[in-house]
Structure 1
Amino acid sequence: MTTSQPSSEPVSLPAIAWFTSASEYAIDAAQRSLLFLDVMRQRGNVFREHAAEDAPHVLEFKCELVMDGRKLDRPVNYVLARIVPSDDVQIGLTARPFVIVDPRAGHGPGIGGFKADSEIGMAMRAGHPCYFVGFLPEPMPGQTIADVARAEAEFLAEVIKRHPQADGKPCVIGNCQAGWAVMMLAALRPELFGPIIIAGSPLSYWDGVRGQYPMRYSGGLLGGSWLTALTSDLGGGKFDGAYLVQNFENQNPANTLWTKQYNLYSKIDTEAERYLGFERWWGGHVNLNAEEIQFIVDELFIGNNLAAGRIKTPDGTAVDLRSIRSPIVVFCSKGDNVTPPSQALGWILDLYDSVDQIRSYGQTIVYTVHEDAGHLGIFVSAGIARKQYSEFSDNIDLIDTLPPGLYEATFTKRSADAKNADLVSGDWLMRCEARTLDDIRALGGNDGEDERRFATAARVSETNLALYRTYMQPFVKAVANPVLANWMQQFHPLRLQYELFSDANPFMAPVKAAAERVRSERKEASADNPFLAMQEKVSQQIVTALDTWRETVEQAAERTFLTIYGTPALQAACGVDPQTSQRSLRKAAKSPLHQQLVGKRIAELRAKIGTGGLRECMVRAALYIGMARGAADERGFETIRRIRLATTETQKLTLAQFKQLVREQFSMLLIDEEAALAAIPSLLPPGADERKAALAAVQEVATASGDLAGEAAKRMERVAGLFDGGKPRLAPVEMRTQANS
């Protein structure tokens, strides 16, 4: 008996520790479960309160109504609101306004100003007045996409009217589906726009990479847009936006079915506020008219007609994206499975054969590709707002004055020891680097076989829609009624999940009081509790299983689409030529008139090479040196801005005039570089001091982003010789000495 007692102690201690940990975890898990249920109750109440508002939105900022689209000649459910700056925000009198347009893709408005660190927040911190284009839950009767475009044009005209002193037209940000709407309007009314930023916006709807981004196959797998028409007919002429939200959720079942809820459950003491804030937007579903959703599905997502120029307005005007005259900034992400980079940027390949062709249309296109941000992260991530959107806001004038061409915006962390760090406006340094179309192709895209498959799917969709409208639609419209439409909407699974957990459900009545009692007696498990580790492991296994299921379904969907629409017999029946080359099925037509206008413009610029003065010579010289680097740095532009602002009022150029000057001088260098340089000595003033000061300013701009080397240094030497009356080039040391004397 005495010998057995010590041997039992080592066994009993782990058992006691195990029991203690289990008891601690059980109490914690039970409390978390009740608190989780209470958050679900609050979520349901927030959903009901949000839906009961006259103009529900999730803007963090105070705003005031400027224009109500319901009062226009062609009424729409869109509104223009002015964002009221807080007391600590200083708005510049000449700063260009920013107009943020939110997507009407199933959710309500406000995601562009969802929090302080957002698109609106960053623009206001940079001193820009801000406006917001939102919408109401219900569309106006008969409202079309063309009507919405007319309303947004009137909104922009009003913003321009309110800011006559602004140094540039409004910068317009189009999020997700608002991006293509903004691009269409900019093609039709280019005079209303300053720089355009399209974030997570699909414009090339067929593009993608095999094995990724399966959402593009959905239209073909459903047999086309007939199902859209059926849903709208059952809805009494309206399409419930909850179906669009459901499509987004289906893209990531692990997050929809588990991760989002588990993250709340596992961090119930700290996560509730953030979760409820997001769900307030996510559950705010809005409706579209049947005509609107049918246009979107037929013309864009299945037809892919936007970049090809095959969309026409009611008066017959073709929407040609090459008509846009404002710089276009495309922000996309490799982690976005809704709008991958190829869909955000593929339209450039549809419209242009080379960067020179982009320049011939006077277009400036800047793109930036995030490595891993998801679709919603592009709009709601505070980190992205403080980096990309902050830099876009601070450097919007740089973007506006970039010479025509294709650029990629890159961002590097600002360091204190960087050269001229005081010229960097924020925590990041933005640099626009010249790119070619091969850089866009490298992001992935379709081959000729895939193009024929998507073209076949579009033809099948047209046929099925015609069959539905002929044989089924009359019957569906006869049996559909407002009661059925309302029943379908109220009992949609996405709405039902909110309603069932709200206070409208009498079975939820005890939850609030029980949760309050739990909060007062809360006992969290210790961080090293082994059962918490087991819980996390189980969660990871569930996510892995759901991801495996998703990947299996996606692979099957891709194989099915490729097999069915790759069938030669089906392609022949749909009139798709098996010899059609890559992208030619959606390539925009070339305009002989454009070539004539380009030739005329080249002749005009060539004749102006020998005209101008000191200002033209300085810009021409700075561009010549900068072209060797193939990039524009915000430090160089800030130097130019300071020089421009220091000029006397009688000599100062407006931003628009400076932009025109930069573009003309850049074009002259492209047309005939040697002639443009040879003309500099004859255009400079005779005074040596004036020339030296001008050369010093050119050198200051050229070296703002770093010392010159290689070809750029050689060009600086040549410029120094030209400014010295065409004398032989100076050595770099001599050049700097004279320029600084």
Structure 2
Amino acid sequence: METASMPAGAARRRQGLSLADGWPVPDLARQAQDYWIDAGQRWLLFLDTLRRRGNAQAEQAARKAPNVLSFAYELVADGRGFERPVNYGLVRIVPPDGVAVDPGKRPFIVFDPRAGHGPGIGGMKHDSEIGVVLRAGHPCYFVGFLPDPVPGQTVEDVCRAEAVFVETVTALHPQADGKPCLIGNCQAGWQIMMMAATHPEATGPVLLAGAPLSYWAGVHGRNPLRYLGGLLGGTWLTALAGDLGAGIFDGAALVANFERMNPANTLWKKNYTVFSRVDSETERFLEFETWWGSPVLLNAAEMQFIADELFIGNKLSSGGIVFSDGARVDLRAITAPIIVFCSQGDDITPPQQALGWILDLYGTDRELIAGGQTIVYALHQSIGHLGIFVSAKVATKEHDEFARTMDLIDVLPPGLYEAVFTGKSGVADHPELVSGDHLVRFERRRLDDIRALGGNDAADDRRFATLARLSEANLALYRSTLGPLVKGLATPEGAAWLRHLHPYRQRFAAFSDRNPLLAPVAGLAEAVRAHRRPTAPDNPFLAAQEAVSAGIVQTLDTLRDLRDHATETLFLAVYGAPLLQALVGLDPSGTDGAHRPATEPAREAAIAAAVAELRARATRGGPIEAGLRALLYVGLGRPRFGADERGFAMLRRIRRDSVTGRDLSLARFKAMVREQYLLLLLDEERAMAALPTLLGDDAGQRARTLDAIRRVAAASGALPEEAKRRLERVEALFAPAAATPGAPLPIQAETGA
């Protein structure tokens, strides 16, 4: 109305228009003024954000036990008091107000990654791994660490301490039906796998989030981080860094390596995002940088072990790591289910490094099943490395569903499965049986599905094996020549100054109140916030700013791609040279690069004895064993044999109405499922023919068991034709009388419900 009553010229000025040669054009001068006022304010607020980040880093470094947990906690066990002390501790997470945990449910333990950055990432947000565990009603514990290692502690010591932590949590929850579930992020993943392999009786399911276990694996044109050791000539520089640090390795070097992977993000995008959206991004940025910007320390011996045995040696998946007491770290010894969560968008732990260990351990699917291992994997298509255990979207989907279905995972028969998530809104059959926002199915996969992701061929493995041997030679050469001199010159005080002067730390100190040049920034930033004038979103100068930013990112990405291509080309050429391979003792035309674990006669004999004992049990058992065998037989008729949480939820309902099932523990149920499944794999016809013997002569009991089978089978949706045929055969074998309404049903599983 106001514009309509104005003179035409005033109205045009009001709208930002003027006449030039008879045509209306944007008032660029006014828009330029608006943009530069906004940009100047954003720049000052961004500078203040960097100042606050530097102050937060200094405060974090001054704390005795820094972390970024957003949950209250209580100390349960301090590893510094152990026989072999370590700088790790176990705490109990205190549920926030309004959240109740059930002491009858299995506890979860979140293990924090110690890969250079500070502790607390698994619980930095309420929508986190810890948050979803608590919301699912499970007691939750957290294993973190202090910034400084205990003198003399080793990776082996940490593994033993973690075993003590798990045993402590188990003892605190004697009423829980199921051993603790362990969640290991990144470095913590391979750490708890080593612990689980040497203490298989102590652990429940192990969930690995972005954890590398097969360090040579990858695909050409991607995953350049695996070539870094080759460019450095092996791990002698790791030893040099430890000696310069007077026996301490600075975690800032590890974090800097991660940052060099994506220079566009490190040098521009991360800061530009805050600058361009300073009104909304500041707090999120400060929260993350408090964790990311507080590097911790490792003993030089710890880092040397990691570099020699894992990164370069790739000995974890080949059974090549032996502890001081002679215990061999053999991942095949793990008896609990292993859940692997990885992503195609992860450039630090690509799917090949997260899953390739399975192919290292097993040559065939039957070998995996005979070994008794249950492995579940979930493959995200885009999330980055940190997003796997930081992103709220991931926490409220994948981690939430894993927490809700862990009891189901724990009773899956041996084999390889993929977790498939479907939105609850798209579930047509029995959506009321879906516990969360997504339906989870665990579908049977084969080793060929892992191979299809890509990986090394024999020539690639031989290249990495060449590097491993060259690294050993270079390390020995350093230790016998330059090493003693460096150790003699290094002092703790000098090492501390080197760490203080590290560029990674100095960038925080430069933008903080420790820099007197920034003294006016805080007051000016407050004045800007009081008179903030953001420009309009359609301002053309804002669009030009975005275009310039996109150009900078594209340039940095191009330079990164050129660097990575040159790195890979150099690595493949140098370590693929037949002469170098021959010089380090490898046959250039052979299979010396293979890293499968050696066959152990004792292990093979134990498996053979177990198979013989299993065959003898085909006719042993009762109605519960018969019902489980029949259910598995019907399930094998589905194209992708596996498990659906709806069927498991139906078992929970049946259990609540059953007298017999209430006394059946999860551990006993798990053993029965595995036994019945393996009997079917060994000799399906013989196993099915024995069903009437297991059922006995009680017609009512047969009818009740068959009714339970039908209900569980139908809970997962319509049966395919082959499954229908198998169900008809089961019905004939059971020859039931009419089912008795409301009678107890004998086929159950204790689920913690």
- TM-score, normalized by length of structure 1? 0.96
Deviation, 1:12, is 9.2
Change (3 A) 1:12 1:265: farther
| 1:621 to 2:615 alignment | no
Q: 1:585 aligns with which of 587, 594, 597?
A: 594
**In structure 1, what is the equivalent of residue 609 of structure 2?**
600
Q: Is the 8 A contact 1:645 1:652 kept in 2?
A: no
**In structure 2, what is the equivalent of residue 647 of structure 1?**
658
**In structure 2, what is the equivalent of residue 542 of structure 1?**
552
**In structure 1, what is the equivalent of residue 319 of structure 2?**
309
Q: Is the 8 A contact 2:111 2:143 kept in 1?
A: yes
Q: Deviations over 1:228-251 (max 9, x none)?
A: 010111111000000000000000
**In structure 2, what is the equivalent of residue 707 of structure 1?**
718
Q: Is the 8 A contact 2:463 2:593 kept in 1?
A: no
What SS does structure 1 have at the residue aligned with 2:190?
Answer: helix
Deviation, 1:647, is 2.1
Distance 2:610 2:704 in 1: 33
**In structure 2, what is the equivalent of residue 731 of structure 1?**
none
Q: Is the 8 A contact 1:644 1:652 kept in 2?
A: no
Q: Is the 8 A contact 1:644 1:653 kept in 2?
A: no
Distance 2:193 2:589 in 1: 32
| 1:150 to 2:171 alignment | no
Decide which moves more: 631-640 or 200-209: 631-640
Q: 2:275 aligns with which of 245, 252, 265?
A: 265
Q: Deviations over 1:507-540 (max 9, x none)?
A: 1110000000011111010011000000001111
Distance 2:620 2:462 in 1: 52
Alignment of 1:439-518 (within 5 A): 439-518=449-528
Distance 1:565 1:651 in 2: 61
What SS does structure 1 have at the residue aligned with 2:92?
Answer: strand
**In structure 1, what is the equivalent of residue 669 of structure 2?**
658
**In structure 1, what is the equivalent of residue 416 of structure 2?**
406
Deviation, 1:585, is 2.1
What SS does structure 2 have at the residue aligned with 1:156?
Answer: helix
**In structure 2, what is the equivalent of residue 675 of structure 1?**
686
| 1:28 to 2:38 alignment | yes
Deviation, 1:90, is 1.7
Decide which moves more: 394-403 or 571-580: 571-580
Distance 1:185 1:614 in 2: 38
One-letter code aligned to 2:708? A
Deviation, 1:88, is 1.1
**In structure 2, what is the equivalent of residue 339 of structure 1?**
349
One-letter code aligned to 2:699? A
**In structure 2, what is the equivalent of residue 559 of structure 1?**
569
**In structure 2, what is the equivalent of residue 421 of structure 1?**
431
**In structure 2, what is the equivalent of residue 5 of structure 1?**
none
Alignment of 1:81-160 (within 5 A): 81-160=91-170
Distance 1:641 1:172 in 2: 24
Deviation, 1:686, is 2.2
One-letter code aligned to 1:426? G
Q: Is the 8 A contact 2:635 2:642 kept in 1?
A: yes
Distance 2:677 2:517 in 1: 71
Distance 1:549 1:646 in 2: 65
Q: 1:294 aligns with which of 304, 307, 332?
A: 304
Q: 1:387 aligns with which of 388, 397, 405?
A: 397
Q: Deviations over 1:199-231 (max 9, x none)?
A: 101100000000001000000111000000101
Q: Deviations over 1:16-55 (max 9, x none)?
A: 7010100000100000000000001000000001111110
Deviation, 1:75, is 0.8
What SS does structure 2 have at the residue aligned with 1:720?
Answer: helix
Distance 1:446 1:54 in 2: 44
Identity %: 57
Q: Deviations over 1:638-663 (max 9, x none)?
A: 11122223322686201111101111
Change (3 A) 1:406 1:88: same
What SS does structure 2 have at the residue aligned with 1:576?
Answer: coil
**In structure 1, what is the equivalent of residue 65 of structure 2?**
55
| 1:167 to 2:177 alignment | yes
Deviation, 1:92, is 1.2
Distance 1:539 1:482 in 2: 44
What SS does structure 2 have at the residue aligned with 1:587?
Answer: coil
Deviation, 1:14, is 6.0
**In structure 2, what is the equivalent of residue 431 of structure 1?**
441
Q: Is the 8 A contact 1:107 1:281 kept in 2?
A: yes
Q: Is the 8 A contact 1:432 1:633 kept in 2?
A: yes
Deviation, 1:584, is 5.5
Task: For structure 1, list consecutive stretches of 5 or more residues without a partner in the other structure.
Answer: 1-7, 728-733
Decide which moves more: 475-484 or 314-323: 475-484
Change (3 A) 1:367 1:204: same
Distance 2:142 2:321 in 1: 27
Q: Aligned pair count?
A: 725
Q: Is the 8 A contact 2:655 2:661 kept in 1?
A: no
Change (3 A) 1:417 1:649: closer
**In structure 1, what is the equivalent of residue 4 of structure 2?**
none
Q: Is the 8 A contact 1:57 1:109 kept in 2?
A: yes
Distance 2:175 2:369 in 1: 29
Decide which moves more: 682-691 or 565-574: 682-691
One-letter code aligned to 1:626? G
| 1:330 to 2:340 alignment | yes
Distance 2:528 2:25 in 1: 28
Change (3 A) 1:9 1:360: closer
Deviation, 1:621, is 0.3
Change (3 A) 1:498 1:569: same
Distance 1:13 1:516 in 2: 43
**In structure 2, what is the equivalent of residue 369 of structure 1?**
379
Q: Is the 8 A contact 1:77 1:136 kept in 2?
A: yes
**In structure 2, what is the equivalent of residue 730 of structure 1?**
none
Deviation, 1:495, is 0.6
Deviation, 1:694, is 1.1
Deviation, 1:128, is 0.5
Change (3 A) 1:226 1:417: closer
Q: Is the 8 A contact 1:430 1:634 kept in 2?
A: yes
Deviation, 1:593, is 2.1
| 1:232 to 2:242 alignment | yes
Task: For structure 2, list consecutive stretches of 5 or more residues without a partner in the other structure.
Answer: 1-17, 744-753
Distance 1:340 1:651 in 2: 43
Q: Is the 8 A contact 2:116 2:254 kept in 1?
A: yes
One-letter code aligned to 1:549? L
Deviation, 1:620, is 0.5
Deviation, 1:91, is 0.8
Distance 1:67 1:46 in 2: 28
Decide which moves more: 40-49 or 597-606: 597-606
Deviation, 1:395, is 0.3
Q: Deviations over 1:568-606 (max 9, x none)?
A: 11000001112333x862111112222222221122111
**In structure 2, what is the equivalent of residue 67 of structure 1?**
77
Distance 1:496 1:683 in 2: 73
Distance 1:502 1:397 in 2: 49
One-letter code aligned to 1:434? R
Q: Deviations over 1:534-583 (max 9, x none)?
A: 000111110000000000000000000001111111000001112333x8
Distance 1:457 1:74 in 2: 33
Deviation, 1:447, is 0.9
Alignment of 1:176-325 (within 5 A): 176-325=186-335
Distance 1:595 1:710 in 2: 38
Deviation, 1:258, is 0.4
